[in-house]
Amino acid sequence: MTESDRTGLETEIKYAVWGGFESPEEVREEILELVDDAHALSADDRRFIEDALDEAWGLKRGAESDWPAITDVTRLMAAFDQLEKDGILALHRAGYTQSDGMADVAEIYDEMGGPDSGVKGWTFYHEQDVADAIETGILWLAFGATDPAADPMTIAAAVASTLDAYGFAVERPADPSRRIKVEGIVWRNRSPQD
């Protein structure tokens, strides 16, 4: 691997570990999938990856012990649970990009029964949004209505109101082409164990 490859992998490891959605083994598998030919890695490259993973997990586990029982991410998950109860499909870490998230929404909505599901709208954030939240404290949420004739801004208002109720600082979008901005979020998501 080149030095550039190693720097890129360190960045991916950081976001995968600190994102908090995957166990150590799942992160290891994800990182190895990013390498073009993982079977052709040298012993030195494998040692580099294992050391980078061990270091990231050591820092994360040490930090987790100092976190409060209820974190911003805990409250976000509770807010998303409430949105689901209110008929809004709310997805955490829906793919890597906005297009991936849209595909996840469509697939899950169809699995739920489409128009017969009672789902009136959706919201999500994706993996790149998690990385942004870790770095900047800002989480962007996509939103929309499941009925093409419905006003998506009613879904944005419902999502924003729910997030307000859970104590988040929310900037409502001016139009449907924009996303909901959640400001001041400290991304502390406890990782599952293997």
118-127 pLDDT, tens digit per residue, is: 999 999 999 9
- Alpha-carbon dihedral 114, 118, 123, 125, rounded to 10 degrees: -60
| Separation of alpha carbons 179 and 172, rounded Å | 8
Residue 34: what pLDDT? 85
DSSP 3-state assignment of 125? coil
Coil, strand, or helix at residue 118? coil
The tens digit of pLDDT for each residue in 75-125 reads 999 999 999 999 999 999 999 999 999 999 999 999 999 999 999 999 999
| Residue 160 binned pLDDT confidence (cut-offs 50, 70, 90) | very high
pLDDT exceeds 70 at position 58: yes
Q: Is the Cβ–Cβ distance between 172 and 57 less than 8 Å? A: no
Q: Which residues contact 103 (CB under 8 A, 6 or more apart)?
A: 95
pLDDT of residue 38: 65
Which segments of the chain does DSSP mark as H helices, in order?
Answer: 3-19, 24-34, 43-64, 72-85, 98-111, 127-136, 152-165
Q: What is the mean pLDDT of the chain?
A: 95
C-alpha distances in angstroms, 67 versus 106, 132, 139, 188? 35, 20, 20, 8
Kindly state the average pLDDT of the residues 167-183.
Answer: 96
Q: Which backbone phi and psi does 29 adopt, to 5 degrees?
A: -60, -40
* pLDDT value for 194: 67
Which pLDDT band holds residue 37 (cuts at 50, 70, 90)?
confident
